[in-house]
């Protein structure tokens, strides 16, 4: 069996355990055979493939053997004239590229992962080895699911499933493999019932196997866990317990302590949900005794912290969570870091430890920022590899047509010229389309920078200083209220940065939250009002996020900041003649005074205006701004109004 078949499918577990592999004398003797010049290269390649299957894919030894496989296969493919040998060496080269793809997936290199997967698929196809080709397509689908490209993942998986189902009797293993992968993808999407449907197909296959070996029992156990976890998330606890107990029996039979610890934690989570806290505690203590591994301990400590938080024993909860949080950072497990930090933030607030609550909150923001950066890199890399691949394909086609045209007579040459013209035009068109896509991507990146730049360091530090000042002055209740508002605003901005449209009500809530925080930052030096006119249901209108905040910030910073008397910010959302308008008025110094005081031009406002132009596709679109003047011509403040593009959901 090729290495490409043996990738793990357990993506839904909170973490993945890697079992140690024994480097025994058998493997050492195989290595010696590989170095023996008397052994034919096809046999060497077979030995290398067997060795790779017996060691961890992320080990240095696996990397060395993979490179050795590539060198031997590539060298022989160039010099052999035998069609049978050419086919064998091509297949081994395909395996080599498949293993390279797995190596780069572990390194989170999106471009090379997809590039080598596509090379592997192409080589298997050239040898008409469609069975192995479709296994590689499944692995490509798994990778797409890891980077949240679920539509592409599902497309790959159902392509492979369609092939395997052409001969169901012979391809039962392949069908069950694909079904289990599809189940994990549906779990990632929150489609738990669909996931269970596909898991049960895999379970049926393995339960009907006669005398299953250890690897098959292990795989069945993993599918039991995933199926039980789906029922747990659906709050169907008896079904969840049933599948967890089946998995527990198999893991204990195999002596797999790490997996046993995972299952005991899952059963404890069920008991927590059922408020059977004593039984949950007993299961978690047993999990600690079962496996001393760092990963197991971190998971169990965090679940113990969750248990005691639910029991309102916050001191014990804090102790367990801090221990789990520390280990999760040590082993660099982001999922456990996220879970433990979320719980710690709640526990610190309950224990009135606001200083630590702030520290955990700042850690959560860094964790979210790193996730956003990684997602942006993945998206850009996918666009780049698609562009490079299509460009290379077109160049190859163009060169092939030129060579063909040169060898033919005048009539064929004329046809070739016409074909080249068509291909050239097609290439030019596709090239321009790709450039347009990259330009759109760059604009999207600018939009992301704008949305995240709203929470600038100056605003964050001022907010934290105010919170600390309130705590020092003994105003803990006000500090907690302010911290909640600040936390809510930060999460609103980070969550909305991933959306193209949000409801008008969500925008209004975010604006009100932002203004209340700014009131505290400016020592209550201004009042504000938000009016809604001729809009019956603010939940049914959807607008691009964060359009209004830069204008509100500008009104506060440059409009009323330097006023001696108290300022006033008036905001209005109105609907007239099928158009939605935003208007903001202040009683500040007006635009002329603002220009005299500062030559600064708000980059956020500039980019927001560009976004409005892109959404409306109207070159005549404008943001109207003017001073408010009294009867004597004195400036009484500033006024800005513009139309907001929207979608109305009836």
Ranked by mean pLDDT, which of 319-328, 364-373, 377-386, 584-593 comes out on top? 319-328
Q: What is the pLDDT of residue 380?
A: 47
Ranked by mean pLDDT, which of 93-107, 261-275, 388-402 comes out on top? 261-275
Whether the per-residue pLDDT at 326 is higher than 70: the answer is: yes
Q: Which of 173-177, 224-228, 290-294 is least confident?
A: 173-177
Nearest residue to 224 (alpha-carbon basis) of 211, 253, 210: 253
Average pLDDT rounded to a whole number, residues 511-532: 85
More confident residue, 147 or 224: 224
3 state SS for 319-355: HHHHHHHHHHHHCCCHHHHHHHHHHHHHHHHHCCCHH
pLDDT in tens, 458-480: 566 667 777 777 788 777 787 78
CA distance 69 to 66: 5
Nearest residue to 454 (alpha-carbon basis) of 489, 504, 409, 485: 489
Phi, psi dihedral angles at 542 (to 5 degrees): -120, 130
More confident residue, 17 or 35: 35
Phi, psi dihedral angles at 241 (to 5 degrees): -60, -40
Residue 256 region by backbone torsions, left for phi larger than 0, else alpha for psi between -120 and 50, else beta: beta
| 140 alpha carbon, distance to own chain's centre | 16
Average pLDDT rounded to a whole number, residues 161-188: 87
pLDDT in tens, 41-84: 787 788 777 777 666 566 677 778 888 888 888 888 888 888 88
CA distance 4 to 528: 62
Question: How sure is the predictor about 7, in pLDDT bands with cuts at 50, 70 and 90?
Answer: very low
**Beta strand pairing status for 635-644 and 624-629?**
antiparallel
Average pLDDT rounded to a whole number, residues 97-108: 83
Q: What is the pLDDT of residue 262?
A: 94
Q: What is the pLDDT of residue 602?
A: 56
Across 2-14, b (16+ Cβ under 10 Å) vs e yields: bbbbebebbbbbb
> Residue 277: which residues within 8 A CB-CB, separation 6 or more?
271, 307, 310, 311
Whether the per-residue pLDDT at 311 is higher than 90: the answer is: yes
Same fold: 1-189 with 502-648: no
Q: Is the separation of the CB atoms in 126 and 114 below 8 Å?
A: no
Q: Is 271 exposed, middle or buried (0-12, 13-18, 19+ CB in 10 A)?
A: buried
Q: What is the pLDDT of residue 223?
A: 93
How far from 158 is each of 2, 168, 251, 305, CA to CA, in Å?
A: 21, 15, 31, 41
Q: How many residues does the chain have?
A: 650
Which residues are 570's β-sheet partners?
Answer: 529, 585
Q: What is the pLDDT of residue 513?
A: 86
Across 435-450, b (16+ Cβ under 10 Å) vs e yields: eeeeeebeeeeebbeb
Q: What is the pLDDT of residue 362?
A: 85
Q: What is the pLDDT of residue 567?
A: 86
pLDDT in tens, 433-467: 767 765 665 665 555 455 445 545 556 666 777 77
Q: What is the pLDDT of residue 361?
A: 85
Domain extents for the chain?
1-189, 352-498, 502-648
Which residues are 529's β-sheet partners?
Answer: 570
> Residue 207: which residues within 8 A CB-CB, separation 6 or more?
220
Question: How sure is the predictor about 306, in pLDDT bands with cuts at 50, 70 and 90?
Answer: very high
pLDDT in tens, 606-630: 666 777 766 666 666 778 888 888 8
CA distance 180 to 116: 24
Tokens of 85: 């040998």
Q: Which of 175-179, 270-274, 397-401 is least confident?
A: 397-401
The CATH code that applies to domain 502-648 is: 3.30.565.10
More confident residue, 130 or 375: 130
Nearest residue to 173 (alpha-carbon basis) of 197, 141, 208, 145: 208
Q: What is the CA radius of gyration of the chain?
A: 31
The CATH code that applies to domain 1-189 is: 1.25.40
Q: What is the pLDDT of residue 33?
A: 66
């Amino acid at each position: 069996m090729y290495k490409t078949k043996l990738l793990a499918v357990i993506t839904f577990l909170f973490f993945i355990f890697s079992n140690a592999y024994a480097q025994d004398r058998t493997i050492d003797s195989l290595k010696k055979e590989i170095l023996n010049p008397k052994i034919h290269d096809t046999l060497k390649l077979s030995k290398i493939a067997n060795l790779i299957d017996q060691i961890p894919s992320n080990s240095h030894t696996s990397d060395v053997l993979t490179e050795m496989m590539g060198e031997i296969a590539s060298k022989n493919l160039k010099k052999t004239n035998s069609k049978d040998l050419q086919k064998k060496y091509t297949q081994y080269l395909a395996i080599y590229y498949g293993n390279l793809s797995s190596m780069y997936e572990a390194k989170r290199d999106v471009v090379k992962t997809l590039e080598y997967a596509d090379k592997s698929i192409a080589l298997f196809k050239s040898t008409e080895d469609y069975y192995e080709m479709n296994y590689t397509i499944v692995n490509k689908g798994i990778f797409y699911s890891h980077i949240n490209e679920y539509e592409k993942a599902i497309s790959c998986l159902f392509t492979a499933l369609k092939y395997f189902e052409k001969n169901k009797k012979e391809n039962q293993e392949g069908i069950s493999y694909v079904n289990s992968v599809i189940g994990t993808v549906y779990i990632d999407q929150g489609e738990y019932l669909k996931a269970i449907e596909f898991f049960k197909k895999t379970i049926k296959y393995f339960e009907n196997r006669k005398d299953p070996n250890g690897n098959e029992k292990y795989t069945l156990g993993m599918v039991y866990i995933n199926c039980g976890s789906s029922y747990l998330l659906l709050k169907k606890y008896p079904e969840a317990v049933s599948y967890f107990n089946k998995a527990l029996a198999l893991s204990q039979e195999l002596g797999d302590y790490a997996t046993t610890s995972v299952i005991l934690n899952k059963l404890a989570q069920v008991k927590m949900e059922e408020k059977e806290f004593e039984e949950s505690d007993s299961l978690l203590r047993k999990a600690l005794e079962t496996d001393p591994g760092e990963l197991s301990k971190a998971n169990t400590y965090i679940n113990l912290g969750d248990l005691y938080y639910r029991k309102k024993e916050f001191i014990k909860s804090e102790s367990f969570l801090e221990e789990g949080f520390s280990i999760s950072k040590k082993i660099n497990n982001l999922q456990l870091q996220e879970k433990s930090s979320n719980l710690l933030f709640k526990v610190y607030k309950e224990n009135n430890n606001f200083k630590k609550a702030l520290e955990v909150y700042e850690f959560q923001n860094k964790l979210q920022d790193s996730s956003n950066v990684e997602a942006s890199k993945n998206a850009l890399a996918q666009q780049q590899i698609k562009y490079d691949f299509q460009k290379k394909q077109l160049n190859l086609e163009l060169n092939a047509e030129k060579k063909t045209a040169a060898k033919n007579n005048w009539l064929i040459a004329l046809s070739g010229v016409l074909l080249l013209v068509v291909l050239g035009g097609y290439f030019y068109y596709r090239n321009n389309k790709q450039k347009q896509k990259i330009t759109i991507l760059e604009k999207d990146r600018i939009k992301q920078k704008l949305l995240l730049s709203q929470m600038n360091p100056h605003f964050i530090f001022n907010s934290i200083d105010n919170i600390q000042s309130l705590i020092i002055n003994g105003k803990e209740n006000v500090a907690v209220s302010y911290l909640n508002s600040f936390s809510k605003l930060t999460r609103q901005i980070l969550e909305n940065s991933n959306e193209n449209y949000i409801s008008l009500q969500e925008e209004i809530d975010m604006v009100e939250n932002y203004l209340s925080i700014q009131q505290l930052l400016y020592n209550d030096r201004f009042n504000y009002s938000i009016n809604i006119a001729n809009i019956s249901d603010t939940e049914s209108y959807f607008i691009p996020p964060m359009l209004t905040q830069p204008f509100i910030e500008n009104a506060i910073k440059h409009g009323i900041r330097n006023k001696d008397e108290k300022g006033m910010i008036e905001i209005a959302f109105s609907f007239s003649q099928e158009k939605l308008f935003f208007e903001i008025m202040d009683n500040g110094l007006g635009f002329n005074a603002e220009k005299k005081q500062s030559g600064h031009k708000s980059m956020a406002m500039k980019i927001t205006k560009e976004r409005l132009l892109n959404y409306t596709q109207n070159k005549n679109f404008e943001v109207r701004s003017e001073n408010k003047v009294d009867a004597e011509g004195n400036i009484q403040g500033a006024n800005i109004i513009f139309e907001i593009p929207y979608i109305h959901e009836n």
